[in-house]
Amino acid sequence: MPHSSSDTPAPRSPGSVPEAGFDALVAEAEAAPVDGWDFSWFEGRATEERPSWGYQRLLAGRLADPAVRAALDLQTGGGEVLAGAGPYPPAMAATESWPPNLARATRLLQPRGVVVVAGPEEPPLPFADGAFDLVTSRHPATVWWPEIARVLAPGGTYFAQHVGPETVFELSEFFLGPLGGEVRRLRHPEAERAQAEQAGLEMTDQRTERLRMEFHDIGAVVHFLCKVVWTVPGFTVEAYRDKLRELHGRITTEGPFVAHSTRTLVEARRPA
């Protein structure tokens, strides 16, 4: 699952999942806030392996480069990742469109000197051509390659961690049934490379890893589906109560539900 900039929560020991029944677990999960990208609520209830490269650490190095005078973080969420990656270049901006995340990011980043801009996720971005030496993003919902190329200065870099293909498909298919080949090809690294090159960027680094996830109780599943809404589009507890009850029984008798995420590290350069 997506996780906060802190270490991934440790799994519960066998038999230590919450003792509450199905209804109590579901109600607790529905009541939990879903704003921001702080995943500490999952402590002990779900785990995900982290990519080996350490995106936030690498991001901090890019932001500290003295050659970077202006940087932009796209779809910053609640600002948690960027907040832990400072110090920043002289000009630092971030965008976010979802109002709860926008408010959270503003509270977190503005005191650090970051200009947080409210705006839609689709083009055009409210910035001039060639405005930034560095554009970054962690888990953008959509990657608008031509717009990224437009706001990058000549010689500038796009550095990001993308959600890769077939992420959490085990969970999606449990609720939705088999997903077709076209859906499985979305976010494929080869397709992203072609899109970046078509926008005039040179892909200088691209690495993909498949990572194990575990959900230790049905509350963790519900909260994940409420927070990461594209996993099961239109998810509500009432619409999927029977499937949730089925999955609760499976976790109770067989142990954690196992899925996998895919993450791709991306670095692309606009030619000078």
pLDDT means per 10 residues in the chain (272 residues)? 37 45 95 83 94 98 98 96 97 95 96 94 94 97 97 98 96 95 88 97 98 98 94 96 97 97 98 97
Q: Give the model's pLDDT for residue 38.
A: 73
Alpha helices in the chain (DSSP H): 22-31, 55-63, 80-83, 99-109, 145-151, 169-176, 181-185, 189-198, 218-227, 241-254
Q: Give the model's pLDDT for residue 181.
A: 81
pTM over 0.85: yes
Q: Give the model's pLDDT for residue 138.
A: 97
| Burial tier of 104 (Cβ tally within 10 Å: 0-12, 13-18, 19+) | buried
Tokens describing residue 109: 């980043």
Grouping H, G, I as helix, E, B as strand and the rest as coil, residue 112 is helix
Q: Give the model's pLDDT for residue 120.
A: 83
Q: Give the model's pLDDT for residue 246.
A: 97
Tokens describing residue 266: 């991306």
Q: Give the model's pLDDT for residue 185.
A: 84
d(CA 34, CA 148): 28
Give yes or no for a contact between 84 and 109, defined as CB atoms under 8 angstroms apart: no
